[in-house]
Amino acid sequence: MHYEEFRALRVDLAAISVDGPEHSEPLRQLYQIPFPILCDTNAEVAKSWGLFDPLEKGGIGRSAVFVIEPGLRVKYCSVDSTTMRIRAAELLDYLQASAARAEAAAPERRFIIPTAGEVIRTALPALKLTLFPKKR
């Protein structure tokens, strides 16, 4: 996943989801995501950054990657889709070159075709949470 390599560059990682923690935390644990998923349940951040899609499934946040410098300047941004994503390794190469003060080409979005196994691993937990919510 490259998490330790990002941390070696002193990069902090976080995800933001418009879902609540009751949906985000089980997925974070299932996929062993080592960084926090911040919950934007009112979609305030997603809306203010132009990442909220009210027409999709009653309202979802679009996938995006931002590199924000310590002065809060956005150094890099990619608003992604389900099939076009930034690969972590390419983002890491970009950040390593930037840290070395070398000329760094910004990573490009790549077309991704998920395998059947990836589709199943991704869809089943979401279906389970939707179809069989935990009783309170």
- List, for residues 34-68, the tens digit of each pLDDT value: 999 999 999 999 999 888 888 877 788 888 888 88
What total of structural domains would you count in the chain? 1
Name beta bridge partners: 38.
16
Mean per-residue pLDDT of the chain: 80
Percent of the chain with pLDDT over 90: 17
Range of the domain at 58: 3-131
Per-residue pLDDT band at 129 (split at 50, 70, 90):
low
User: Is 122 within the bounds of a domain?
Assistant: yes
- Using alpha carbons, select from 37, 58, 36, 60 the residue that is nearest to residue 47: 60
User: Is 136 within the bounds of a domain?
Assistant: no
Task: Please give the structure tokens belonging to residue 134.
Answer: 């935990």
More confident residue, 114 or 69: 69
User: Is 79 within the bounds of a domain?
Assistant: yes
User: Is 48 within the bounds of a domain?
Assistant: yes
> If 0-12 CB within 10 Å is exposed, 13-18 middle and 19+ buried, where does residue 24 land?
buried
d(CA 107, CA 84): 12
Task: Please give the structure tokens belonging to residue 8.
Answer: 């070696």
- Over 60: is that where the pLDDT of 13 sits? yes
What pLDDT score was predicted for residue 44? 92
d(CA 24, CA 15): 10
| CATH code where residue 82 lies | 3.40.30.10
User: Is 52 within the bounds of a domain?
Assistant: yes
- Using alpha carbons, select from 57, 64, 66 the residue that is nearest to residue 80: 64
> Which residues make Cβ contacts (< 8 Å) with residue 113, sequence separation at least 6?
83
- Over 90: is that where the pLDDT of 99 sits? no
User: Is 8 within the bounds of a domain?
Assistant: yes
Q: SS3 for 69-124, per residue?
A: CCCCCEEEEEECCCCEECCHHHHHHHHHHHHCCCCCCCCCCEECCCCHHHHHHHHH
User: Is 55 within the bounds of a domain?
Assistant: yes
User: Is 111 within the bounds of a domain?
Assistant: yes
Is 0.85 surpassed by the pTM of this model?
A: no
Quickly count: other Cβ atoms within 10 Å of residue 61's Cβ.
Answer: 20
